[in-house]
């Protein structure tokens, strides 16, 4: 969506295929920007042939497409192969490294593995994400892969003391509150129950502590129950899905990201542009570090995380943090420009 908002839509138009019949967070914005949304059946294994049939019929009736950019990795080898059969250029895009060894991850790898022999071109949000999904052979082929940085509109994130007071007042926070936060889906990968454990310990360490949590997801009910059992609700403000993350980040003193696995998360780039100290798990790509305000920690002890958070108690933010993100190559204007030129060179 960051790229879609930024590209010249007179040159390049995005349409979206999604595996749900429910209305999603960006549907209205996509339509307003001129995009179309198509809804395909979720792959369940037993519907393998019906799934292939849907994509064959779709491409039979939509010959206007020249490029298919695949972000759903598990079945990319299926729909990209069909797209190529219909004369389209196939791009596979990896946004994450692999998770821990379990049945789900093993099945995912087995299904996605053939993609490396199907796609015409491979993109990754980081080198680690590229290798994790497509292997070192692809990563060593400079002619068929590119690391597409998760760029952002950096100036939107510049620290503003007046805006910080405004958003804190809006959220009912005191000016002197020690505000820690996170943004992400409520999933196992985001280590949400570990975050609750950190919150519980922080409540005992700092009387001015408060936690902001933006996001939603399939584990929302389980998360709410775990928060209730640990009696942390009074110190937590659940923000839901927000379209003003730059404003939310203004309110924070520290941001935590204890993910079990990640590629190079966009939110980590945004946090650094906002000049907020970022504490993230050592399972996050080290390429995320663009400033001295990033700390990597193992996720084996909440005590280490609480200690690291408290060390940032006296940190004072500055408003020139966006320049460091630009120097690191994460300016959305540059990444959008590269992608437009790449698309146009392929058709």
User: Around Cβ 151, how many Cβ atoms within 10 Å?
Assistant: 24
Query: Which residue range forms the structural domain that includes residue 39?
Result: 2-151+331-345
Whether 177 and 210 share a structural domain: yes
Please check whether residue 70 is in contact with residue 93, taking contact to mean a CB–CB distance below 8 angstroms. yes
Give the three-state DSSP class for 185: coil
Whether 129 and 164 share a structural domain: no
**pLDDT tens-digit readout, 83-137:** 999 999 999 999 887 655 566 677 878 888 999 999 999 999 989 889 989 999 9
User: For residues 328 and 311, what is the distance between their CA atoms, to the nearest angstrom?
Assistant: 26
Left, alpha or beta for 229 (phi > 0: left; psi -120 to 50: alpha)?
alpha
Whether 339 and 291 share a structural domain: no
User: For residues 70 and 77, what is the distance between their CA atoms, to the nearest angstrom?
Assistant: 9
Whether 113 and 257 share a structural domain: no
Whether 25 and 159 share a structural domain: no
CATH number assigned to the domain comprising residue 291 = 3.40.50.2000
Tokens at residue 131, please? Answer: 């290798």
Whether 225 and 309 share a structural domain: yes
Provide the whole-model pTM: 0.81
What letters, b where the CB count within 10 A reaches 16 and e where it falls short, cover 233-255? eebbbbbeeeeebbbbbbbbbbb
Whether 188 and 52 share a structural domain: no
Whether 175 and 302 share a structural domain: yes
Q: Where residue 78 falls among pLDDT bands split at 50, 70, 90?
A: very high
| Lowest pLDDT segment from 91-100, 177-186, 235-244 | 91-100
């Amino acid at each position: 969506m960051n790229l879609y908002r930024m590209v010249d839509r007179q040159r390049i138009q995005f349409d979206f295929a999604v595996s749900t019949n429910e209305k999603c967070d960006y549907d209205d914005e996509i339509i307003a920007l001129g995009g179309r949304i198509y809804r395909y059946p979720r792959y369940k294994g037993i519907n393998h042939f019906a799934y292939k049939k849907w994509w064959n019929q779709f491409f039979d009736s939509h010959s206007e497409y020249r490029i298919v950019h695949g972000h759903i990795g598990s079945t990319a080898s299926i729909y990209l192969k069909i797209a190529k059969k219909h004369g389209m250029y196939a791009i596979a895009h990896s946004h994450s490294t692999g998770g821990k060894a379990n049945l789900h991850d093993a099945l995912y790898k087995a299904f996605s593995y053939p993609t490396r022999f199907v796609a015409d071109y491979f993109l990754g949000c980081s080198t680690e994400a590229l290798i994790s999904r497509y292997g070192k052979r692809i990563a060593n082929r400079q002619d068929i892969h590119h690391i597409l940085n998760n760029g952002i509109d950096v100036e939107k994130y510049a620290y503003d003391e007046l805006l910080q007071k405004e958003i804190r007042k809006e959220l009912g926070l005191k000016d002197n509150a020690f505000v820690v936060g996170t943004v992400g889906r409520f999933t196992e990968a985001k280590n949400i129950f570990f975050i609750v454990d950190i919150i519980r310990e922080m409540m005992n360490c700092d009387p001015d502590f408060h936690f902001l949590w933006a996001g939603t997801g399939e584990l929302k009910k389980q998360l709410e129950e775990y928060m209730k059992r640990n009696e942390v609700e009074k110190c937590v403000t659940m923000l839901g899905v927000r379209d003003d993350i730059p404003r939310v980040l203004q309110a924070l003193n520290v941001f935590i990201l204890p993910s079990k696995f990640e590629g190079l998360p966009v939110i980590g780039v945004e946090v650094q542009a906002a000049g907020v100290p970022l504490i993230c798990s050592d399972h996050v790509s080290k390429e995320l570090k663009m400033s001295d305000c990033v700390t990597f920690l193992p996720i084996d002890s909440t005590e280490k995380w609480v200690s690291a958070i408290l060390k940032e108690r006296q940190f004072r933010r500055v408003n020139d943090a966006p320049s460091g993100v630009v120097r690191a190559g994460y300016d959305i204007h540059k990444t959008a420009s590269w992608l437009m030129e790449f698309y146009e060179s392929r058709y």
